[in-house]
Amino acid sequence: MDRQLPGSKLLLTCLLLSIEGGYLDAYTYVTRDGVFANAQTANIVKLAMNFQAHNMAKCMQLLIPVSAFILGVLVALIIESHHTKYGIRHIRRSVLLVEIAALVTVAFLPEQYNTAANCLVSFVCAMQMEAFKTFVGQVLTTTVSTGNLRKFVEFLYKAIMEHDQEALKTAGIYLVVILSFMTGAYIGYGISVQYGFKSIFIPVVLLVIGLAVITYQQYRYQA
């Protein structure tokens, strides 16, 4: 393992967060009204459609998760602005702590608070998307797969057309991250169906492990 690589940018950390990201999508879909809370594309499209149809009540309802996502990005930026002098590992550790607290809260929200639960998940995913952008020198997302899939195809094409071994290696990294996200969704669906709301403690455990990895690497490099 490269001793110069911060724990927050290790591929292991990326894979843990990708599994957690896929799991959260499956969790909210199964237990929280069939919603995919990780990204806001669908909500924004629905918002525009309902605005055109003059359905203001639905628009206000859709603005809630979108606003939660925006707030998540802002909180991550605020944490970054207050921790810049301490380095990216401290920023990412703080973000993970907030994420853990938010997801534990979701576990205890009953069905009538599904909107609040989905908003908290959207908030968590926004924070994670903003704070965790790069791993092993690559731009990798852990809460959605569209960008990762595009980059996988780009690097695979380059590897084939230019016989570039480094591009092939990078394509492999993107593929592993995509498969990790799928694995999280696969596991999340099965466990959520069986255990309901409390199944969200699995991604909490993944975040705790990620926090432990980052913390261990921090003290290891300081030693």
What pLDDT, in 10s, does the model give residues 173-189? 999 999 999 999 999 99
Residues 104, 204 contacting (CB under 8 angstroms): yes
Reported as type and span, the H/E element at residue 135 is strand 134-135
What pLDDT, in 10s, does the model give residues 30-60? 999 888 888 888 889 989 999 999 999 989 9
What pLDDT, in 10s, does the model give residues 157-166? 999 999 999 9
The DSSP line for 63-105 is HHHHHHHHHHHHHHHHHHHHHGGG-HHHHHHHHHHHHHHHHHH
Q: Is the pLDDT of residue 2 over 70?
A: no
Query: In this structure, what token pair is assigned to residue 104?
Result: 């534990």
CA–CA dist 175, 38 (Å, integer): 20
180 - beta bridge partners?
A: none
Q: Is the pLDDT of residue 86 over 70?
A: no
Res 4: pLDDT: 44
Q: Model pTM? A: 0.90
Q: Which domains does the chain have, with CATH numbers?
A: 7-216 (1.20.1250)
Label residue 134 left, alpha or beta by phi (over 0 means left) and psi (-120 to 50 means alpha).
beta
DSSP state for residue 35 in the 8-state scheme? -
CA–CA dist 208, 110 (Å, integer): 24
- Helical residues (DSSP H) of 84-164, grouped into ranges: 88-107, 114-131, 146-162
Instruction: Reduce the DSSP state of residue 110 to 3 states and report it.
Output: coil
Instruction: Reduce the DSSP state of residue 37 to 3 states and report it.
Output: coil
Dmax (CA) for the chain in angstroms is 62
Q: How far is CA 168 from CA 64, 159, 175, 196, in A?
A: 42, 5, 10, 40
DSSP state for residue 192 in the 8-state scheme? H
Q: Which residues contact 142 (CB under 8 A, 6 or more apart)?
A: 14, 17, 18, 20, 21, 128, 129, 132, 177, 181
* pLDDT class of 101 with cuts at 50, 70, 90: very high
